[in-house]
């Protein structure tokens, strides 16, 4: 290689180092407009109805912030009511905090309690720290410790998969159960 190539290579490296060393820091404040909620609601109550005019999902929250660009609602003390196809209350799910993505899913955090509201429900109470509701697949999911209670059994396990349309709940790992006889 000639001295000229080495000379241009050295200048290139010096320019690269100077560019990295003296480039402006991009820690400029984030545009606050992007992260402001589009609306805030206190004591929110909403019910959605199907084509037959029967309720299929309800939502209550002490406080909610809706972010339209993200199609997301952040909630404090949310309560989600799920109804059977004939409009009867099926599940009441509550948590300390929650997030709802428009028509896709909801996530409940903190002390999450689910109550089976039908008289013949196999699960009367479901308790966990984290619960996802997938409205498209009609499923409940959790990857945390879960406790199920009913008059005839008590079960604990790690992880949960529930199918709302089939009224089934499956504990996925480390399951322990106690059954009671009348």
Q: In the numeric block, which tokens belong to residue 174? A: 């480390």
How many beta carbons lie within 10 A of that of residue 44, not counting itself?
19
| 108 vs 169, residue with greater confidence | 108
- pLDDT of 180 > 90? The answer is no
pLDDT at 123: 87
pLDDT at 66: 92
- pLDDT of 174 > 80? The answer is yes
Mean pLDDT to the nearest integer, 93-99:
95
| 138 vs 60, residue with greater confidence | 60
| Residue ranges in 23-150 assigned as alpha helix (H) | none
| 84 vs 108, residue with greater confidence | 108
pLDDT at 149: 92
For 9-34, write each residue's pLDDT tens digit.
777 777 777 777 776 665 555 555 56
Architecture field, domain 29-179: Sandwich (2.60)
Distance between CA atoms of 146 and 162, rounded to whole angstroms? 12
For 38-93, write each residue's pLDDT tens digit.
889 999 999 999 899 999 899 999 999 999 888 899 999 999 999 988 889 999 99
Mean pLDDT to the nearest integer, 91-109:
91
What would you measure as the largest C-alpha separation in the chain, in angstroms? 96
pLDDT at 5: 78
pLDDT at 107: 95
Distance between CA atoms of 106 and 49, rounded to whole angstroms? 18
pLDDT at 74: 94
pLDDT at 1: 61
Degrees to nearest 5, angle at CA 165 with 180 and 55: 110
pLDDT at 19: 72
DSSP character string of 27-63:
-PPP-GGGGS-SEEEEEEEEEEE-TTS-EEEEEEEEE
pTM (two decimals) = 0.77
């Amino acid at each position: 290689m000639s001295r000229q190539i080495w000379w241009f290579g050295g200048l290139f490296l010096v320019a690269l180092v100077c560019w990295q060393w003296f480039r402006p820091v991009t820690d400029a404040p984030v545009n606050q407009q992007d992260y402001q909620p589009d609306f805030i609601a206190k004591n929110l109550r909403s019910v959605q109805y199907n084509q037959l005019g029967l309720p299929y999902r309800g939502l209550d929250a002490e406080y909610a912030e809706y972010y339209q660009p993200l199609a997301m609602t952040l909630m404090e003390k949310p309560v989600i009511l799920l109804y059977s196809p004939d409009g009867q209350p099926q599940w009441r799910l509550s948590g300390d905090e929650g997030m709802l993505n428009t028509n896709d899913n909801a996530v409940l955090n903190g002390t999450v309690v689910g109550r089976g509201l039908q008289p013949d429900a196999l699960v009367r109470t479901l308790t966990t720290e984290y619960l996802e509701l997938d409205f498209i697949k009609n499923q409940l999911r959790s990857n945390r410790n879960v406790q199920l209670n009913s008059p005839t059994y008590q079960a604990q396990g790690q992880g949960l998969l529930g199918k709302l349309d089939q009224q089934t709940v499956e504990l996925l790992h480390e399951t322990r159960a106690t059954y009671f006889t009348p």
